[in-house]
Structure 1
Amino acid sequence: MNAPKMNVDEVVAIDVHTHAEISRDGHSSLSPALMEASAKYFKAGHRQPTVAETAAYYRERKMAAVIFTVDAEHATGHPRISNEEVAASCAEHADVLIPFASVDPWKGRAAVREARRLVEEHGVRGFKFHPSLQGFSPDDRMAYPLYEVIEELGVPALFHSGQTGIGAGVPGGGGIRLKYSNPMLVDDVAVDFPHLRIVLAHPSFPWQDEALAVATHKPFVHIDLSGWSPKYFPPQLVRYANTLLQDKVLFGSDHPVITPDRWLADFARLDISDEVRPKILKHNAARLLGLVKEDA
């Protein structure tokens, strides 16, 4: 049975970046080697909450969350968690969870068909890309048919940017190439798909200035603040979030590797104005995700 729809007015914050790391039958989103490396990198142990447990966590805090897995079957050979399962689980907790999907762009026309079906038949509200893990450059024309259908459907595309903890410490980084997550590679996507809503995920170390440049230049490019404790944010990111990008910066935690409790505690000590703080925590995401009208 589906839960009541979300009441945005009753939500205190919207976390735009959380992960579905385990399926109902216990299948992990990453191989054991990559999951272990990620846990060591984030000092997060091996806790992998189910989607239902994640919903309960956010409901208790009166927050909403975008949740997704990553389809990187082509590059890693590891079977994905089903997008349909994530969407169905979110429908059971629609008061607090917003489903995104992940479709490996290497799947070509099948990826395009799947993306359309996930939005039209399963209520998916956006798509997650992890170029380093998926093994593709965002500006590769191979992925353009997928971007085209996402733009047509009017939902956001969220791109991992910057270094990743996945593969950290594994010989050869587990085959993961950091260069694919330079946000400048997404600039071509923003040019060629001018109405595509794009989110650059994370403080984009070591390319923070590049991410700020793209987001200030391209009107539909946003930045989420997930994956780092706010106390480690680069000063230029804080300055832009407080000024030029105050309507385009989004709260994201990276749960479960970073909890919103920790993130929000550190964010409370950040030098962000009282006017901008609620935009970052809730209002910008509500507008981007179509939970409120554009002019609200």
Structure 2
Amino acid sequence: MTNSTLYTCAVDVDAVDAIDMHVHLEIDECGHKSLPEDFYTASEKYFKADERTPSVDRIAEVYRGQSMAGVVFTVDARTQLGHKPNSIDDLVAGCARHNDVLIPFGSVDPRTGADALTEARRQATELGVRGFKFHPSVQGFDPSDREFYPLWETLEELGLPIVSHTGQNGMGAGLPGGRGIKLKYSNPLLLDDVAADFPGLTIIMAHPSVPWQDEANSIATHKANVYIDLSGWSPKYFPESLVRQASNVLSRKLLFGTDYPLIPAEKWVKAFNDLPIKDEVRPLIFKDNAVKVLGLADPVAAQEGVPS
């Protein structure tokens, strides 16, 4: 399916209670999944997920019912996995149908070289994605390698943020050799190089970065263009240093995220409510910080994809 409609964001930030910065769409309208089948079997066991591949319409129904908006994406890891992703065009078309609650991010395979730059521009200008998702371990690349600097330069020029996986990997967990996935590519220190060399590029380090949480805390504190989304872990398992700093130096750097459908929002929120985090910080984490990162506070920025 080819989507000819440019996505425009219609999220009313005053009408939603939270913005989930980390939602996966892993199947397209043709039934094609983003990853080989053994990844789903292993991740279902690892996360104990009930509904592994909901449609975009189902995702919209879930988030609308909870008065939340969600940033939706997939991952293009065709080179590493030998498996094409689910359709980005389908993903954006679905988000366009539900643009009151869904915000699409694109994805390109950095290992496809110049084609990745062309595709990133297409997704930004022709589809209207609001950012990009990367998973260095699943995609099999070192984000600090200068081979990939043209991609970061392109995304910086487009003014679009990136979400990049850090820390422990649920994908491939429990499989022989972790299904070939190498954890070293998810060390957040590799993104510190990118943040330093591309200060105009907003970088969201996805997940508590176990076993490198102190490194992630330091990077987010040091670099104005770096944030942390809190997806992929139940808050009851968050590293102590992350919880402690959430109420002070990281209060404006943390973003609500679940990893849905692997972790449902209601389950995440229930555990988060038990953490010793200041009441005045909670609205920042649930919505206000995301509004800034996504440019939703400025109607012009929201349409153009430029963070405020």
TM-score tier by shorter-chain length is over 0.9
- Taking the aligned partners of 1:88 and 1:14, their CA distance within structure 2 comes to 20
Match of 2:304 in 1: none
- Taking the aligned partners of 2:141 and 2:292, their CA distance within structure 1 comes to 29
SS in structure 1 at match of 2:21: strand
Identity of aligned residues (%): 56
Query: What is the Cα deviation at residue 3 of structure 1?
Result: 9.2
Whether the 8 Å CA contact 2:156–2:200 is kept in 1: the answer is yes
Query: What is the Cα deviation at residue 280 of structure 1?
Result: 0.1
CA gap of 1:4–1:200, structure 2 versus 1, over 3 A, is closer
Selected match of 2:287 from 282, 287, 293? 282
Query: What is the Cα deviation at residue 46 of structure 1?
Result: 5.4
Whether the 8 Å CA contact 2:255–2:286 is kept in 1: the answer is yes
Whether the 8 Å CA contact 2:228–2:253 is kept in 1: the answer is yes
Which runs of at least 4 in structure 1 moved beyond 4 Å after TM superposition?
Answer: 1-4
- Taking the aligned partners of 2:33 and 2:88, their CA distance within structure 1 comes to 13
Whether the 8 Å CA contact 1:161–1:201 is kept in 2: the answer is yes
Match of 1:9 in 2: 14
Q: Which amino acid aligns with 2:64?
A: R
Whether the 8 Å CA contact 1:225–1:253 is kept in 2: the answer is yes
Match of 1:78 in 2: 83
Match of 1:271 in 2: 276
- Taking the aligned partners of 2:13 and 2:162, their CA distance within structure 1 comes to 22
Whether the 8 Å CA contact 2:144–2:191 is kept in 1: the answer is yes
Q: Which amino acid aligns with 1:161?
A: T
SS in structure 2 at match of 1:44: coil
Q: Does residue 1:62 correspond to 2:67, yes or no?
A: yes
Whether the 8 Å CA contact 1:3–1:95 is kept in 2: the answer is no
Q: Does residue 1:94 correspond to 2:99, yes or no?
A: yes
Q: Does residue 1:220 correspond to 2:243, yes or no?
A: no
- Taking the aligned partners of 1:52 and 1:27, their CA distance within structure 2 comes to 16
Q: Which amino acid aligns with 1:267?
A: F
Segments of 5+ residues of structure 1 without an aligned counterpart are: none
- Taking the aligned partners of 2:147 and 2:88, their CA distance within structure 1 comes to 21
Match of 2:122 in 1: 117
Query: What is the Cα deviation at residue 45 of structure 1?
Result: 4.3
Match of 1:156 in 2: 161
Selected match of 2:149 from 125, 144, 147? 144
Selected match of 1:211 from 216, 233, 240? 216
- Taking the aligned partners of 2:91 and 2:232, their CA distance within structure 1 comes to 21
Selected match of 1:169 from 174, 182, 187? 174
The worse-fitting range, judged by mean Cα deviation, of 18-27 and 278-287 is 18-27
- Taking the aligned partners of 2:220 and 2:212, their CA distance within structure 1 comes to 13
Match of 1:42 in 2: 47
Segments of 5+ residues of structure 2 without an aligned counterpart are: 302-306
The worse-fitting range, judged by mean Cα deviation, of 54-63 and 266-275 is 266-275
Selected match of 2:245 from 237, 240, 249? 240
Match of 1:108 in 2: 113
Query: What is the Cα deviation at residue 189 of structure 1?
Result: 0.3
Q: Which amino acid aligns with 1:50?
A: S
